[in-house]
Amino acid sequence: MLWTLLAIVVAGLGAAGIALLLRKLTRNKLPRWIVPLFGGLGMLSYQVFYEYSWFEHQQARQPAESVVVATEAGHVFWRPWSYFVPMVTAFTVLDSKSVVREQVADAQVAEFMLYRFEKQHIDHVSHQA
């Protein structure tokens, strides 16, 4: 979370710096309010990028033998862009390396590890039996 906050601040400062450069190139003909506008748009743009790239980032961190079996996409009112393009908020992964098949009575039974990942502000692990 700290690194995300730092990245958002750096994106805002970088975008504000671009606006300052544009103001200087136009000999201050652009209005002064363009600097905080660019700063805010830079921070918002990074936040949107970070939220939409979360699933790909988490998927890349999984072992090669894991398989994504389900995803959940949704929208929330404080992220109005998610109404146009819903973002993945959770996904379920099957560890194909842990699959054990057994014959019980007249039925084939499979035992496996299934992991569920949800997008939250802080990554944490919770165990369920």
Return the bridge partners of 87, or none.
74
Give pTM, 2 decimals: 0.79
Residue 88: CB atoms within 10 Å? 19
- pLDDT in the model for residue 121: 72
Contact 85, 51 (CB under 8 A): no
- Quote the CA–CA distance of 129 and 127 in Å, as a whole number: 7
Residues of the chain with pLDDT under 50: none
- pLDDT in the model for residue 18: 98
- pLDDT in the model for residue 127: 65
- pLDDT in the model for residue 1: 76
- pLDDT in the model for residue 76: 84
- pLDDT in the model for residue 35: 97
- From the list 70, 75, 73, the residue with the least C-alpha distance to 89 is 73
**pLDDT, tens digit (0-9, with 9 covering 90-100), for 40-68:** 999 999 999 999 999 999 999 999 999 99
